[in-house]
């Protein structure tokens, strides 16, 4: 598998995992989303907003138009889950689009990330690895917080195994997302 195929598949898997998590969170009433919980961020909605704003931060840098730290202002830009879900889905589509265009040369290129008072330059591939790891980490926190509610947390530890039974398990999600199973691996 080429590196560009790997990153494209990661972007699709990231969007699929976000979809599954946000659908589960959608079964919670707003007070449960905002309820104080034990985690790095104090609530489910706060953690979901953090995932989104960090996506904005790194993706805007990858796209060559860095938002810098303004990506985090306000800290909770989407207190409403429906709006957050819509904006996360849009952001996931941008990330997929970015990864769809990757070349080996592009992966090795530098990207600037504007910090509060300095510019951090990293390779595109390392930035993407960091971004995907960040998503996994905080989705895991939301998953754990859901365990303390009446809503069962969705399975998030899957990737795109090729067996027909595996494909069938994700077919409804892929239909909702408009994903083409074979197109991910082309």
**With bands split at pLDDT 50, 70 and 90, how would you rate the model's confidence at 52?**
very high
For residue 122, report the phi and psi dihedrals to the nearest 5 degrees.
-135, 160
Q: What is the pLDDT of residue 159?
A: 84
Q: In this model, does residue 84 exceed pLDDT 90?
A: yes
159: buried, middle or exposed (CB in 10 Å: 19+, 13-18, 0-12)? exposed
Distance of alpha carbon 104 from alpha carbon 7, whole angstroms: 11
Q: Say how far apart CA 168 and CA 61 lie, in whole Å.
A: 36
Provide the terminal-to-terminal Cα distance of the chain, rounded to the nearest Å.
Answer: 10
Rounded to two decimals, the pTM is: 0.95
pLDDT tens per residue, range 99-158 = 999 999 999 999 999 999 999 999 999 999 999 999 999 999 999 999 999 999 999 988
What pLDDT is stored for residue 120 in this prediction? 95
CATH tag for 3-184 (out of 1.20.120.80, 1.20.120.450, 2.102.10.10, 2.60.40.10) = 1.20.120.450
pLDDT of 1 higher than 90 = no
Measured distance CA(185)–CA(13) in Å, rounded: 12
* Per-residue pLDDT band at 48 (split at 50, 70, 90): very high
Average pLDDT taken over every residue of the chain: 96
pLDDT for 182 beyond 90 = no
How many beta carbons lie within 10 A of that of residue 55, not counting itself?
22
Rounded to an integer, the average pLDDT of 17-46 is 97
User: At 85, which helix (H) or strand (E)?
Assistant: helix 81-100
Using CB atoms within 10 A of its CB, is residue 101 exposed (0-12), middle (13-18) or buried (19+)? exposed
Listed in order, strand segments (DSSP E) in the chain are 110-114, 119-123
Mean pLDDT of 1-8: 95
User: Concatenated DSSP letters for 4-50?
Assistant: HHHHHHHHHHHHHHHHHHHHHHTTS-HHHHHS--SSSSSSHHHHHHH
Q: Are 175 and 168 in contact (CB under 8 A)?
A: no
Can you tell me the mean pLDDT for 2-17?
Answer: 97
């Amino acid at each position: 598998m080429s590196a560009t195929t790997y990153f494209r598949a990661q972007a699709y898997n990231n969007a699929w995992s976000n979809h599954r998590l946000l659908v589960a969170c959608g079964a919670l009433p707003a007070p449960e989303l905002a309820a104080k919980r034990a985690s790095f961020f104090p609530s489910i909605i706060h953690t979901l907003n953090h995932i989104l704003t960090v996506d904005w931060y790194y993706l805007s840098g990858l796209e060559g138009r860095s938002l810098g730290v303004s990506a985090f202002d306000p800290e909770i830009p989407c207190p409403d889950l429906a709006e957050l879900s819509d904006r996360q889905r849009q952001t996931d589509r941008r990330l997929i689009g970015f990864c769809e265009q990757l070349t080996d040369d592009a992966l090795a290129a530098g990207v600037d990330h504007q910090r509060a008072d300095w510019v951090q330059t990293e390779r595109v591939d390392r930035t993407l690895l960091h971004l995907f790891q960040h998503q996994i980490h905080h989705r895991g926190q939301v998953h754990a917080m859901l365990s303390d509610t009446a809503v069962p947390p969705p399975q998030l530890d899957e990737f795109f195994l090729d067996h027909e039974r595996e494909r069938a398990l994700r077919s409804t999600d892929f239909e909702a997302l408009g994903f083409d199973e074979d197109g991910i691996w082309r």
